[in-house]
Amino acid sequence: MIRLFETLGAYQKRDPAARSKLEIFLLYPGVHAIIYHRLANLLYRHHMLFLARVVSQWSRFWTGIEIHPGAKIGRRFVIDHGMGIVIGETAEVGDDVLLYQGVTLGGTGKDRGKRHPTVGDNVMIGSGAKVLGPFKVGDNSRIASNAVVLSEVPPDSTAVGVPARVVRIGGTRVDYASEVDQIHVTDPVQKELQSLLSRVEFMEKLLEDCKQKDFLHRKETETEE
């Protein structure tokens, strides 16, 4: 019950549209998915695997969110909207994590054992992002919308693009999970392209100046003759 009230409070804190804990409890599919998962995970840990999958599949039908009964979910886990979210069997999600719709915490093959990601505390994963593989997403990190993450993300970092590239953020620590801005994220590929474009423009201007000087020199030579 304490965990439920913590979760409701986390939703109320992070969703400006949430008006009351009662509304969140009754109407938010992310909360329902978490409640169902707690039951499914309990059955899973007691080796009632069939019943655990029955509960998880019912949750998927009811909420549009699929969490394998074996996944480990931390406290104050917030799923915003949530439709299309998939969390694999060996995935681990830390405390104070925020997920948007369409996120996949999946594997990359049919290997047994640990094959899904471990998401640290206070992480935000934007809508449509795919995190695939048995690596760690560090604490206080964020993954931009539609990124495809295939390797480890250091703490206090941002992953952007397909495949995702990590932009390490130095300096002061930022509470990314509370910061819901998924749009204004620096894309290193775009920055590199802008740098190359600037160099091309500089070279074109330099070439144009050389042509102009050569033309003036020829004019001066013709005049002297």
Quick one: pLDDT at residue 172? 43
pTM, two decimals, is 0.71
What tens digit of pLDDT does each residue of 9-42 get?
888 888 788 888 888 889 889 899 999 999 999 9
Contact yes or no for 120/138 (Cβ under 8 A): yes
- In single-letter form, the type of residue at position 101 comes to Q
Contact yes or no for 44/110 (Cβ under 8 A): no
What tens digit of pLDDT does each residue of 119-157 get?
999 999 999 999 998 999 989 898 988 899 998 888 888
What tens digit of pLDDT does each residue of 63-110 get?
999 999 999 999 999 998 888 999 999 999 999 999 999 999 998 777
